[in-house]
Structure 1
């Protein structure tokens, strides 16, 4: 075994020794450079992963904020619609009370017309039994007054309901449109 080491030592003497030392040095430097590059690549990859994680977190937070903003806007719009609905119900209740008052007035007018018709018949006995045309005219007048009053009551109810519904719809639309206009102005 000793002879082999002497033989190898003889080969490394002179220029061959320098060449072998240079080859070992190049291998050592290459290995060190390779390791340094691996460390740099690993650090760069870790930085890229951290930056990507931060970007994902920022996007997630932006998404959560956007969803919350949309929910808040929806709550605000629903509150505006509820307020408009409550106002409409109050107006409908007021219109119903007015309709009851109008119906009472209508009944009083009808009773007054019937009283006047009976009084006219009582004042002129010819209208009572002897003259059907006079009694018929008074009855026709009372009947027509009753029909006109009934129809006016129906039309007033329809008009009240249509007005309340239209105003409620308009208020709800304006509340929602104002928000959309503000969002457009802000540039959302």
Structure 2
């Protein structure tokens, strides 16, 4: 029994040693895994910081590019508006010239009608024929009305065209800005 008791005591002793070594090995492995996890975490955090910094730089560049495009668009709209205002002023000046020309023509027509009536009355007084100024008066009135309406329509057409072209240029500018924004261009 003593040999068996010695063997049993040794078995417990070796089992305790093996268990201690196993626990020590497990502790070393856990320590190594923890160190590896800390390194991986540090690497991931560094990568995340780098990606955040890159994203912030890209957002800043995009913001600046969009500000530049917006400023360029605003300048183009201002130029378009200035050009449209100048064209509208020119159309108004053209209308004023057309009104002056119409007034001169109406004065000339009135002078012609007066001469025609005077001549017709002189022929009637001489016994040649009776004056009939109705058709000439009708023609003069129709010419006056047609000229007035033509002047109005011409002015409407001129201003509509000017406004339409300004609107088209503003649309083209906005579309170019949108395309440049989508393509990442600045000019």
TM bracket, shorter-chain basis: 0.7 to 0.9
> Displacement of 1:14 after TM fit?
6.4
Which of 49, 62, 67 matches 2:63? 67
> Equivalent residue for 1:134?
132
Which of 132, 153, 156 matches 2:154? 156
Which of 129, 143, 146 matches 2:144? 146
The verdict on how the C-alpha distance between 1:42 and 1:182 changes in structure 2, with shifts beyond 3 A counting, is closer
- Where do 5+ consecutive residues of structure 2 fail to align? 1-5
The verdict on how the C-alpha distance between 1:133 and 1:61 changes in structure 2, with shifts beyond 3 A counting, is farther
Matched residues, number: 177
Q: Which has the higher contact order (CA 8 A, sep 6+)?
A: 2
> Equivalent residue for 1:167?
165
> Equivalent residue for 2:103?
107
TM-score by length of 1: 0.72
The verdict on how the C-alpha distance between 1:79 and 1:181 changes in structure 2, with shifts beyond 3 A counting, is same
Q: Distance in 1 between matches of 2:143 and 2:75?
A: 46
- Cα RMSD of the aligned pairs, angstroms, is 3.4
The verdict on how the C-alpha distance between 1:32 and 1:73 changes in structure 2, with shifts beyond 3 A counting, is same
> Displacement of 1:49 after TM fit?
1.9
Q: Distance in 1 between matches of 2:148 and 2:52?
A: 71
Q: Distance in 2 between matches of 1:51 and 1:180?
A: 33
1:67-119 deviation digits (Å, cap 9, x = unpaired): 33333323322322332222111111001001011101111111121122122
- Where do 5+ consecutive residues of structure 1 fail to align? 1-9
